[in-house]
Amino acid sequence: MARWVWWVLILKITELADTVIFIFRKKYNQISFLHVYHHTVTLFLAWITCKYAPGGMWTFIMMPNCVVHVIMYTYYLCACLGPKMQKIVAPWKKYVTRLQLIQFTIMMIHTFQAFLPSCEPTRKPLAYIYMSQVVIVFHMFLDYYRKSYLRKKIE
């Protein structure tokens, strides 16, 4: 499991690197506070996991994240294949965001286990860090979802 966590850390470094690529390409419209915060925090959480808990309970949290990222980057790949493909995949973007919200909910439920009395006390500091960040990112994604998809229906 520790090897898996190290691979996730490397993946998170590459995900943050895409922000640098956006800057070099002057694609500032693709860089939001949500984007930078999310990629920075996930890199930080992956590093903490590698350093202090490279296995067990905390490894599970990374699995839904990796699944969602495979789906999300598949969507982005299809979207960059041209205007025809963009029209085909555009309606799916909101479902990718919903999937991300579901992922954060799963992560919160899973992390909550660390607060149970039967859980090892050594897991609690990590649980506070994970839970606080997942809650923050969940609300940021929820706000993005509301602004991008729900307000359009009202107008």
Given a contact cutoff of 8 angstroms between Cβ atoms, the answer to whether 15 and 66 are in contact is no
Structure-block tokens of residue 26: 């002057």
38 carries an active-site annotation: yes
DSSP 8-state secondary structure symbol assigned to residue 115:
G
* Residue among 35, 38, 39, 69 flagged as catalytic: 38
DSSP 8-state secondary structure symbol assigned to residue 26:
T
Rounded-to-integer distance, Cα 54 and Cα 49, Å: 5
Given a contact cutoff of 8 angstroms between Cβ atoms, the answer to whether 110 and 60 are in contact is yes
* Residues recognised as catalytic: 38
